[in-house]
Amino acid sequence: MEQSIIKVYVDVDGNNIITKISSNLFINDLTNWIQIDEGYGDKYAHAQGNYLDKGLLDSNGKYNYKLVDGIHVELTEEEKEKLFPTQQPQPTQEETLRAKILKDNADMQLQLAQQQKINANLLAQIAKLGGTQ
């Protein structure tokens, strides 16, 4: 019994980043897919988990490969950061409110300290005048 050759296909985005990989065994419509290899065995048949050395995505969810002249090429960390900048987490509404309360409290403490200084100066001036009359 002769085995059929299995073809490996990738789908890329506008930057030629490989966003999908599969074989002709699992793709019904080859529109927009690009053939990159062919062969026999699990490496080709189950390309999602076996074809790329590092897998499609890294541990941060960033794509690992780009397509250059029909060949998959690993992205450098610099390329990944440029293409997929790390998103800074946004504070929750509760965290924002808590920060505002802390800032307001600090502002009030400063105002109180300034008022205490003014009061101390006034008392010192009254004392110099000989006290109350």
Q: What is the pTM of this model?
A: 0.64
User: What integer pLDDT is reported at residue 5 of this predicted model?
Assistant: 95
User: What integer pLDDT is reported at residue 1 of this predicted model?
Assistant: 61
User: What integer pLDDT is reported at residue 130 of this predicted model?
Assistant: 81
Could you say which residues of the chain have pLDDT below 70?
1, 131-133
User: What integer pLDDT is reported at residue 101 of this predicted model?
Assistant: 93
- Distance between CA 35 and CA 104 in Å, rounded? 61
Q: Which of 82, 83, 64, 80 is nearest to 14 (CA)?
A: 83
So where are the chain's domains?
6-83, 89-133
- If DSSP codes are grouped into helix, strand and coil, which group holds residue 9? strand
Q: Which of 32, 28, 82, 26 is nearest to 50 (CA)?
A: 26
Q: Which helix (H) or strand (E) holds 33?
A: none
